[in-house]
């Protein structure tokens, strides 16, 4: 070995130090892989950036963490939409109330949308209602049709979650121009609770809830081998609870929605972050930071 060291022009000590560094690096990679596996048990398709922000491991940077994850095959798949869920009503009579809008608390802006999930050969349709400020999913419902009753069930759940019957015109309900949102019973429920009604002119003006649709479907439901309608209902409840209580959001100081709501309850109004809502009347941009709360 001494002859080999001399031939390679290295010392025995340097060789052993290099072996030690390689062993330490391998051990660190194994720890990182363990963290990723631990996160993916709960969040089957959580992105590597989000996992890093959730654990914030010491002595390793975000880019290195992501590189290790990619090296070991933890890349997430992008799923393309296959079904249309928005059939705009020609009678939509509500304007977009979010132009130049800022919010600084919960129960100022709710948004809703419909997405789909395929079980065997059948499409099921899922309605979500979310508080835009905290990203908390307030209500949801699933059915094998796109009737307004599904949206009504989700809205009633949202009311039950908030335990408020009169919002005194301080809350805006925003959606696309889908016919379900102009059904008489749905509108009556909103008006009875003194909620303002707003509708977007373009799908991308409802980006917050669109992101939730993708997260629940592509990062949770599609990884759970759902083969029946009842399994879908059970899995949907599990996914929403996980999203609301465990999944960190970079826009919420890396807190889950429920924890973030508890956090802002402790802040005085003047210290609460401001969220500016983007609409088509403003500069068109795809910058993801446009939706971040400004602390």
> Which of 48, 71, 94 is at the close of a domain?
71
Task: For residue 13, name the pLDDT band (cuts at 50, 70, 90).
Answer: low
Q: Are residues 173 and 253 in the same domain?
A: yes
Last residue of a domain, one of 55, 71, 87: 71
Give long-range contacts, CB 8 A cutoff, 24+ apart: 261-270: 261/106, 261/134, 261/136, 264/105, 264/106, 264/134, 269/104, 269/105
Which has more pLDDT, 10 or 272? 272
Q: Quick check: 274 and 294 in contact, CB under 8 A?
A: yes
- Would you say 260 and 132 are in contact if contact means Cβ atoms under 8 Å apart? no
> What is the number of H-type helices and E-type strands within the chain?
9, 7
Same domain, 66 and 122: no
Name the pTM for this structure: 0.71
Range of the domain at 200: 102-291
Q: Determine how many CB atoms are found less than 10 A away from the CB of residue 257.
A: 24
Using DSSP's 3-state secondary structure scheme, residue 270 falls into helix
* Residue whose token pair is 């949801």: 140
Contact 206, 177 (CB under 8 A): no
If one counts the domains in the chain, the total is 2
Which of 106, 33, 108 shows the shortest CA–CA distance to 74? Answer: 33
Specify the DSSP class assigned to residue 278: P
pLDDT over threshold 80, residue 22: no
Domain-embedded: residue 93? no
Are the C-beta atoms of residues 32 and 60 closer than 8 Å to each other? Answer: yes
Average pLDDT (213-236) is: 91
223, pLDDT greater than 80: yes
- Alpha-carbon gap, residue 52 to 135, rounded angstroms: 20
d(CA 59, CA 28): 10
Which sign, positive or negative, has the C-alpha torsion 203, 207, 209, 214?
A: positive
Q: pLDDT tens-digit profile of 149-183? A: 999 999 999 999 999 999 999 999 999 888 889 89
- Same domain for 128 and 169, yes or no, is yes
Which DSSP letter does residue 104 get? -
Q: For residue 95, tell me if it sits in a domain.
A: no
User: pLDDT grade, residue 36 (50/70/90)?
Assistant: confident
Same domain, 175 and 262: yes
What pLDDT sits at residue 290? 44
Q: Are 9 and 151 found together in one domain? A: no
CATH assignment at residue 280 = 3.30.420.10
- Mark whether 67 and 106 lie in a shared domain: no
Neighbours of 238 (CB within 10 A): 14
Rounded to the nearest 5 percent, the helix, strand and coil shares of the chain are 45, 15, 35
Q: Which residues pair with 275 in a beta bridge?
A: 103
Question: Which single residue is written with the structure tokens 């400020």?
Answer: 133
* Predicted pLDDT at 286: 38
pLDDT recorded at residue 295:
45
The residue ranges of DSSP E strands in the chain, in sequence order, are 102-103, 109-119, 122-131, 136-143, 172-175, 196-199, 275-276
Q: How confident is the model at residue 293 (pLDDT cuts 50, 70, 90)?
A: low
pLDDT tens digits along 67-115: 877 877 777 665 555 554 444 445 557 888 988 889 999 999 999 999 8
């Amino acid at each position: 070995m001494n002859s080999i060291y001399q031939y390679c022009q290295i010392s025995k000590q340097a060789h052993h130090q290099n072996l030690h560094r390689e062993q330490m690096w391998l051990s660190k990679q194994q720890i990182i892989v363990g963290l990723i596996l631990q996160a993916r048990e709960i969040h089957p398709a959580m992105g590597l950036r989000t996992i890093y922000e959730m654990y914030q491991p010491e002595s390793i940077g975000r880019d290195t963490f992501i590189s290790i994850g990619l090296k070991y095959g933890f890349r997430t798949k992008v799923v393309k939409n296959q079904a249309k869920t928005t059939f705009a009503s020609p009678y939509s009579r509500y304007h977009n109330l979010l132009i130049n809008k800022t919010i600084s608390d919960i129960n100022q802006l709710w948004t809703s949308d419909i997405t789909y999930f395929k079980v065997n050969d059948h499409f099921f349709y899922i309605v979500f209602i979310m508080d835009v400020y905290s990203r908390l999913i307030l209500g949801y419902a699933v059915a094998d049709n796109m009737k307004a009753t599904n949206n009504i069930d989700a809205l009633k759940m949202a009311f039950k979650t908030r335990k408020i019957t009169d919002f005194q015109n301080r809350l805006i309900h925003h959606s696309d121009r889908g016919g379900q949102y102009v059904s008489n019973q749905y509108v009556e429920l909103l008006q009875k609770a003194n909620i303002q009604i707003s509708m977007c002119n373009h799908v991308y003006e409802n980006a917050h809830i669109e992101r939730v649709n993708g997260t629940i479907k592509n990062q949770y439901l599609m990884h759970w081998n759902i083969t029946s309608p009842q399994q879908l209902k059970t899995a949907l409840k599990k996914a929403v609870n996980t999203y609301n209580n465990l999944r960190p959001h970079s826009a919420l100081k890396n807190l889950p929605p429920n924890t973030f709501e508890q956090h802002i309850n402790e802040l005085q109004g003047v210290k609460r972050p401001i969220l500016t809502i983007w609409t088509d009347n403003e500069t068109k941009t795809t910058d993801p930071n446009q939706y971040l709360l400004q602390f």
